Each structure stands twice: as C-alpha cells, then as structure tokens.
Amino acid sequence: MQKKFRISVDGRSYNVVVEELLSDIGNGFPAPVEAAAIAAAPAVVAVAAPVAAVAAPAAVAVAAAPGDEVAPLAGVVDSVEVRMGQAVAVGDKIATIEAMKMKTEVFAKHAGTVIRIAVKAFDSVDTGQTLLTVG
C-alpha cells in the first residue's frame, strides 16, 4: 500500500509517496514484516518537486534592552493587558501567553510608562522575545 506524506526538511516542504511493507495474517489486520524481508525488499520513495513553505519562520528573539518586558516562555500571546502611555508598577499584569493549552500571566518587572508594545494577541513569541518596553 502506498501513502502520501508532506515532509519538511530545513524549511523546505516536499510531497513524498511511501510504500508500506506489511504481511497479511488473514484476519484483516496487518502484521509487521520480518527484518530480513524488509532488508531484501527494494525501497520505493518518490519525491515530488518542493512545495511552498506552509508557515513563515518565527521572529528571532534579540537581546532585551533596559526596560524591555520579555516573554518567559515560547507560546502564543493570548492578550496584552496594557496600552501605550499607560503607567505600570512592578508586579502589574501586562500580558498572558498560552503554551500547550496552559495560560501564563506575565507581570511587569519594571515600573514606568509603556512606550512601545511589540506584540499583539495571537502573535507567536519565543522565550526572551520583547513583549513591550517600559520607560
């Protein structure tokens, strides 16, 4: 039986066809083929032309500057709790990040006024990526 798959290698996607090597034991369920039979069977893999990448690569996190509030883990921004020009104190909730269906609240480590917001809801973030800047 042949199956079609899409694989990604070094950011390039390929459509491939793979032949499944199974023996039939008569009850409708496939059984694994012995290793010697697999070694003796010719490998059949058809590789199609590369297809366009499915998703754009995530932004690369850079070193945080003074006043930057950064993501404590990689995930997706669920919400940004502050707005430009808002005063924040140390410990104020500034954002929520969702990772693996768990939400993590992010609290300010700096006091001051929000001078830049670098993310919005549904943005993917990496650990250490700047969420916003407090000046």
Nearest to 129 by CA among 74, 91, 55, 83: 74
How many angstroms separate the first and last alpha carbons of the chain?
Answer: 62
Region 122-127: mean pLDDT is 94
Output the six-digit token pair for 107: 């609290």
Strand partners, 90: none
Distance CA 28, CA 56 (A): 42
Q: Which of 37-46, 50-59, 60-69, 93-102 has the lowest mean pLDDT?
A: 50-59
Is residue 83 located within the same domain as residue 119?
Answer: yes
Is residue 7 located within the same domain as residue 35?
Answer: yes
Is residue 41 located within the same domain as residue 84?
Answer: no
Q: Is the pLDDT of residue 33 over 80?
A: no
In this structure, is residue 56 part of a structural domain? Answer: no
Distance CA 128, CA 135 (A): 18
Tens of pLDDT, residues 61-81? 456 788 899 999 999 999 999
User: Residue 122: CA atoms inside 13 Å, Cβ hemisphere, count?
Assistant: 0
**Are 95 and 79 a contacting pair, CB within 8 Å?**
yes
Q: Provide the mean pLDDT of the chain.
A: 79
Split at pLDDT 50, 70, 90, the class of 10 is: confident
Region 97-103: mean pLDDT is 94
Range of the domain at 108: 68-134
Whichever domain contains 83, its CATH number is: 2.40.50.100
Split at pLDDT 50, 70, 90, the class of 11 is: confident
Q: Is the pLDDT of residue 8 over 70?
A: yes
Kindly list the distances between the CA atom of residue 80 and the CA atoms of 4, 97, 117, 133, 134, in Å, as whole numbers in the listed order.
41, 9, 9, 13, 14
